Structure 1
């Protein structure tokens, strides 16, 4: 067990070493050496992470901690930097490191056209990975929040990596600001946890939950259940990181960063942090039924919303980005019904096929010289046979087609939603099943537009070429994961071995039997998602292969609906009217009237008065001795008069 703990700690710390050496020493080291160091550290870390996972499973995943250093010691509050070794943290660590390693290797080819040294890019990738590992290995809420903010910072740096592009810097700022809004709720939730439990350490607060279930919180004359309030605040924080409805607007714009960044954000880091938080806080959520209903509603609605937007996007990366948003909705809906294991299972399988799809899209973009509009592509499958094949595998997994990875995890979620039996869970199941149809439709829309049919731009097709091996090998490895991860992991995550595998890392209350009952849904209910997925594929074939003129005709016939979806339900425009413009107007008033008018104006007026007074005073200095003598005499007379009269 000590060996496993040492491997685990090494896996967490090595990405930090790579980030610091490449980032601070990049100017002194050769650019190639900085890449070797970051990828070498990531490779060793991935091996250690997988080794810790294997060792932990062999030993039964007995929860352990690895204390590293004091973290905070102020007054009566004490927090240490401690790594938590349990099933949830180790599986997340292994997944993050494996995907991140492949993204690092892929980036060697994708960023090869950059004229400037890329040591800064690789340093940021490693920093991003380390921040996510800090988050998933946390043993208390303080360390979790540190990692939480760390991935926010790293995402800002990576999304805005091409800082000479105004769209990239705007997207980075947008991601940072939207997440800060959600993080305020998260921070208040952590504060209330400390107020209620007098600690933020997981084991201590989880053990105390049964004793504080009746605690209440009063606000504006209304009393709220404290557990519901805390869970609601933590979930709003998760909504920001995981781009759920109302706080999702940053995610599509994050596509302005390099494609490897998109893969890392959407597959293994950042957006999965919210799902991890909900799974880690399962001992809280189990006793907050009101919040769980809200989680189901937001997750299901996000799932449907993002899918409808994704099916009309012309940009290849934005289409895949909205699919991420949609799949995260499935995960949160599963959390809402208490199927945390199914949620984390889908998180894991999703990491493989979503990284595959993004890196496959990057391979296409790299091949066609940075073109991202799918309507300018077409007929590329002969030019990019390997990319075409792996994109098929990723799309089959995303659509939930048997036996690919997404089939096992997505069907488990939908079955759990149906088995839960509440009206809200049936609402989520209905939207989830409809979304399965839409997901398959826009996935094959992408495949048919990019790889089939007559090319819209002959120059784009003729200039296309398959990516180098440093990019295609990671694609093949991810394709293997997208093919076999579901069937390989299902017995452990949601099957017969789940109790032994999770070993208490995820909590299900005594009344929560969803993980036993979800397998017993009616046969038709279990088959409907697969039927819907195949129907979506068939419809995409009709629209984009058999009758390619049909989509344009439909867009004209249903113009308002098409524009509504194309403009993403007008959320950005709505937020501009409600938040951005009033904020800009207030800022302009404070700038002109407050800053320039008062703060800068008062010293300016004082200076002007001083200059005016001085210019008038100098007029008294005439240079005439007679006037000076007369003035002195007059002053003497006044002085004597005052003295004598006094």
Structure 2
């Protein structure tokens, strides 16, 4: 599974121009090959009993020094294989879509090489049987995302966006590396089995620190508060990149890390509560930001931030939420990827314009895109029967089943945000496909080719049937039961029917208000000034300003201070002063070596007198 896309990346990135014509197709075939291998592995696992559906494959010994034995191996269990299916299936559809989207790009060979590299790194991350190999995939994903986000590096803004994503994720890596060091000192191993099997022998305080460090790593990779600022700028990459990173792969890595480390978080309520708080803050922030974005891709990015926040909240709820988080992660991977690819189709029709205020009435021009996008839109707003309704409502119910005050805070936040989500996603849908046409004169909207629309159709079908097919039938809970145990039935402080009715009412109110404002009335081409909250949301609630004040400006000031110190102290003082001192000393010595015999005789006489004087004193 890992070797096939890795081979494709090597061939395309090192093969040169000879691969230009057939390289993208090879990358797509190899990605589908990983999917087929994954299917075969799942079939094999289903042949075992529920408690035996975990197989380890040792690859090689990484390091063996004294009592420390680190090996590289893979773990194939229901959790890792769920991610494998999502990564390879949705990722392969994105490869197919990219064949049409990047058809005329002169560097498409390099693009597909990066896509294969990304898939291989993500597969390594989720299949690793320990934190060491997971970290290799973790960094590989970071590298590939940097290359993809800044793919059009000729544009300085796009290159800067790639740098920003890379640098912000390095802050999270500090948490990951420190956590691994603490694991080595505490458990003497990086293996999931050995670390998780020994948590009951470790003080809770140590586990809390370990959980918080892992949370820091997850915040960066999954764009959670306070390390979420890179996500919106990551839209600089080609739209298939946005679908790959923000739907099914990179941003879900943090959720996977917490879910995989459930033994640690189950043993430390404080760290688990921190995860839930971070998820709650992020889901609210993302929804508020999404309400004010006119860039279709950045609105979807804000939505991703919010939806990942739902998942982080769920894993922070402990055993009651793990199953729901992964379920929502899977359904979200389909309908959000479908929306991103739909946005790319809209851009294809509108000459790469991303301003929704310049769209309108596109339903009459790009009907396939409109229908597929509509199905994904209904899924994300939680329309009854669609996949998002099954998965997101489960998280809301679990949030209302939390302990004490947490039930009201977490449950209320998820419920209110569901209504806000219905508003801003309906705003995006109506501004793009309905209302009065606001195209510029040179725009000639047209439907995308089949190579782009077929993946959108498949994802839209998943957005409709996946929730019912996986949950109502019991397939998904029984599949993940060996990892998380049986999914406990939530017992919220509010009756479940009341929660469902409230969510439905808020969905109708949010979508209805968006229809009144953006579906019927004429949308101004120029955005109105807006109130203070709208202005703040347009600039991502001042995330960059906060980062500048807390990190960038102090770092720049420190750098300037060090440069000045180097110039004034090191260069002028130490570096400049040492030659002067040596020159002065050599001048004195040079005067003594003048070539006159009388001077040498006098020196010898003074030396003899000094020695005799010292001997006399010692006696």
Using structure 1 for the length normalisation, give the TM-score: 0.87
**What is the aligned partner in structure 2 of residue 247 from structure 1?**
227
Deviation at 1:53, TM superposition (A): 2.5
**What is the aligned partner in structure 2 of residue 325 from structure 1?**
305
Correspondent of 2:596 among 635, 638, 642: 635
1: CA distance, partners of 2:286 / 2:65: 45
Aligned residue runs from structure 1 range 371-390, under 5 A:
371-390=353-372
Q: Tell me, which stretches of 5 or more residues in structure 2 are unaligned?
A: 609-619
Q: Partner of 2:383: helix, strand, or coil?
A: coil
1: CA distance, partners of 2:174 / 2:597: 71
Q: In the superposition, relative to structure 1, how do residues 60 and 406 fare at CA in structure 2: closer, same or farther (>3 Å)? A: farther
Q: Does residue 530 in structure 1 map to residue 504 in structure 2?
A: yes
Q: In the superposition, relative to structure 1, how do residues 143 and 549 fare at CA in structure 2: closer, same or farther (>3 Å)? A: closer
Q: In the superposition, relative to structure 1, how do residues 196 and 164 fare at CA in structure 2: closer, same or farther (>3 Å)? A: same
Q: Does residue 151 in structure 1 map to residue 123 in structure 2?
A: no
Deviation at 1:272, TM superposition (A): 0.2
**What is the aligned partner in structure 2 of residue 191 from structure 1?**
181
2: CA distance, partners of 1:76 / 1:595: 48
Q: Does residue 586 in structure 1 map to residue 586 in structure 2?
A: no
Q: Does residue 350 in structure 1 map to residue 339 in structure 2?
A: no
**What is the aligned partner in structure 2 of residue 235 from structure 1?**
215
Q: In the superposition, relative to structure 1, how do residues 261 and 551 fare at CA in structure 2: closer, same or farther (>3 Å)? A: closer
Aligned residue runs from structure 1 range 190-339, under 5 A:
190-212=180-202, 215=203, 225-338=205-318, 339=321
1: CA distance, partners of 2:70 / 2:595: 78
Correspondent of 2:119 among 129, 137, 140: 129
Aligned residue runs from structure 1 range 579-618, under 5 A:
579-594=551-566, 598-599=570-571
Correspondent of 1:439 among 407, 416, 421: 421
**What is the aligned partner in structure 2 of residue 577 from structure 1?**
549
1: CA distance, partners of 2:94 / 2:291: 26
Correspondent of 2:537 among 559, 562, 565: 565
Q: In the superposition, relative to structure 1, how do residues 376 and 135 fare at CA in structure 2: closer, same or farther (>3 Å)? A: same
Correspondent of 1:479 among 455, 460, 469: 460
Q: Does residue 504 in structure 1 map to residue 471 in structure 2?
A: no
Deviation at 1:551, TM superposition (A): 11
CA contact (8 A) 2:146 2:163 kept: yes
Q: Partner of 1:243: helix, strand, or coil?
A: coil
Q: In the superposition, relative to structure 1, how do residues 165 and 287 fare at CA in structure 2: closer, same or farther (>3 Å)? A: same
Q: Does residue 108 in structure 1 map to residue 99 in structure 2?
A: yes
RMSD over aligned Cα atoms:
2.8
Correspondent of 2:40 among 38, 47, 51: 51
Q: In the superposition, relative to structure 1, how do residues 640 and 449 fare at CA in structure 2: closer, same or farther (>3 Å)? A: same
2: CA distance, partners of 1:98 / 1:76: 41
Q: Partner of 1:563: helix, strand, or coil?
A: helix
Deviation at 1:68, TM superposition (A): 1.9
Deviation at 1:60, TM superposition (A): 3.9
Deviation at 1:153, TM superposition (A): 1.2
CA contact (8 A) 1:134 1:147 kept: yes
Q: Partner of 1:419: helix, strand, or coil?
A: coil
Deviations 1:310-351 (A, max 9, x none): 011111100000000000111111112221000000000000
CA contact (8 A) 2:397 2:496 kept: no
CA contact (8 A) 2:331 2:391 kept: yes
Deviation at 1:244, TM superposition (A): 0.9
Q: In the superposition, relative to structure 1, how do residues 636 and 238 fare at CA in structure 2: closer, same or farther (>3 Å)? A: same
2: CA distance, partners of 1:284 / 1:100: 31
Q: In the superposition, relative to structure 1, how do residues 500 and 390 fare at CA in structure 2: closer, same or farther (>3 Å)? A: closer
Q: Partner of 1:325: helix, strand, or coil?
A: helix
CA contact (8 A) 1:418 1:521 kept: no
Q: In the superposition, relative to structure 1, how do residues 534 and 171 fare at CA in structure 2: closer, same or farther (>3 Å)? A: same
Deviation at 1:545, TM superposition (A): 2.5
**What is the aligned partner in structure 2 of residue 542 from structure 1?**
516
Deviations 1:355-387 (A, max 9, x none): 111111011112211111111222222221111
CA contact (8 A) 1:282 1:507 kept: no
Deviations 1:401-434 (A, max 9, x none): 1211111100111111112343113211111111
2: CA distance, partners of 1:380 / 1:596: 64
2: CA distance, partners of 1:143 / 1:327: 28
Q: Partner of 1:83: helix, strand, or coil?
A: strand
**What is the aligned partner in structure 2 of residue 29 from structure 1?**
18
Q: Partner of 2:385: helix, strand, or coil?
A: coil
Q: Tell me, which stretches of 5 or more residues in structure 1 are unaligned?
A: 1-10, 217-224, 621-631
Deviations 1:69-93 (A, max 9, x none): 2223334322222111110011110
Deviation at 1:143, TM superposition (A): 1.1
CA contact (8 A) 1:135 1:145 kept: yes
Correspondent of 1:467 among 444, 448, 459: 448
2: CA distance, partners of 1:608 / 1:369: 66
CA contact (8 A) 1:416 1:514 kept: no
**What is the aligned partner in structure 2 of residue 119 from structure 1?**
109
2: CA distance, partners of 1:369 / 1:549: 20
CA contact (8 A) 2:13 2:110 kept: yes
Q: In the superposition, relative to structure 1, how do residues 32 and 170 fare at CA in structure 2: closer, same or farther (>3 Å)? A: same
Deviation at 1:125, TM superposition (A): 0.8
Deviations 1:492-517 (A, max 9, x none): 7xx4x566422421257xxxx74464
Q: In the superposition, relative to structure 1, how do residues 597 and 55 fare at CA in structure 2: closer, same or farther (>3 Å)? A: same
1: CA distance, partners of 2:535 / 2:227: 21
Q: Partner of 2:482: helix, strand, or coil?
A: coil
**What is the aligned partner in structure 1 of residue 611 from structure 2?**
none
